[in-house]
Structure 1
Amino acid sequence: MALRKIPIRRAGNRDNLFMGGDRELVMFSGLLAFALVFSAQELRATVVGLLLWFGALYALRIMAKADPRMRHVYLRHRRYKPYYPARSTPFRDNPASQGKQYQ
């Protein structure tokens, strides 16, 4: 009896992208640009808000093209311990006092 093969469809495994970038980051950058434009209500703020929006969208599209889950990788990296002490190699000769601390 042969093993049954079940195809995994692409539609069920796609990353959650919006406008080519990570969904949450794209919408948050749009919210920031929108808040800047409508809170200041000036021509300079409008220009800066539009530059912020299109610049962020461009950067997020590049980031998603390189790795669609890069935001999750970065957040996991930030949760790691800030300092990991050096580990010895199998070829190191430890002194006797070093071995006593593990007994």
Structure 2
Amino acid sequence: MSAGGEQLRRTILHRALHRPNLLMGGERELVMFSMLISGGLIVSALNLPSIVVGTIVWFGAIVALRQMAKADPYMSAVYTRQLKYVPFYAPRSTPYRVE
């Protein structure tokens, strides 16, 4: 209770509104892009070595993307956003730095 005797307002947050958009355990866009790359590799050559390599690339990408999403489901979005802020980084580590 607050000082005035009124109750705090509670807001319901539905899980579907803020849960990460994952596909096969990895970020949706990256999983679909890796599927496109490995499928293009397989279809372009249409022989046994390209099928093997494309399958290895696909499963390797899925394993890596699942581990990445387990650490942070929005890791690629955070990484691309921080690339946009590179020109704004301060030339010093802190304003209290001794020179």
* Range of TM-score over shorter length: 0.7 to 0.9
Cα shift at 1:76: 1.4
Partner of 1:85: 91
- Give 5+ residue unaligned stretches, structure 1: 93-103
Give 4+ residue runs of structure 1 displaced > 3 Å after superposition: none
Distance 1:13 1:49 in 2: 34
Match of 2:17 among 6, 12, 19: 12
2:86 match: secondary structure:
coil
- Give 5+ residue unaligned stretches, structure 2: 1-5
Aligned length: 92
Provide closer, same or farther for how the CA distance between residues 90 and 38 of structure 1 changes in structure 2, counting only shifts above 3 A.
closer
**Bigger radius of gyration among the two:** 1
Distance 1:2 1:60 in 2: 44
Work out the percentage of aligned pairs sharing the same amino acid. 50
Distance 1:74 1:61 in 2: 16
Distance 2:26 2:65 in 1: 5
Partner of 1:41: 46
1:4 match: secondary structure:
coil
Cα shift at 1:3: 3.0
2:52 match: secondary structure:
helix
Q: Deviations over 1:41-85 (max 9, x none)?
A: 110000000000000000000000000010011101222226642
Q: Which shifted more, 83-92 or 12-21?
A: 83-92
Cα shift at 1:91: 6.2
Distance 2:90 2:58 in 1: 38
Tell me how large the CA RMSD over aligned residues is: 2.0
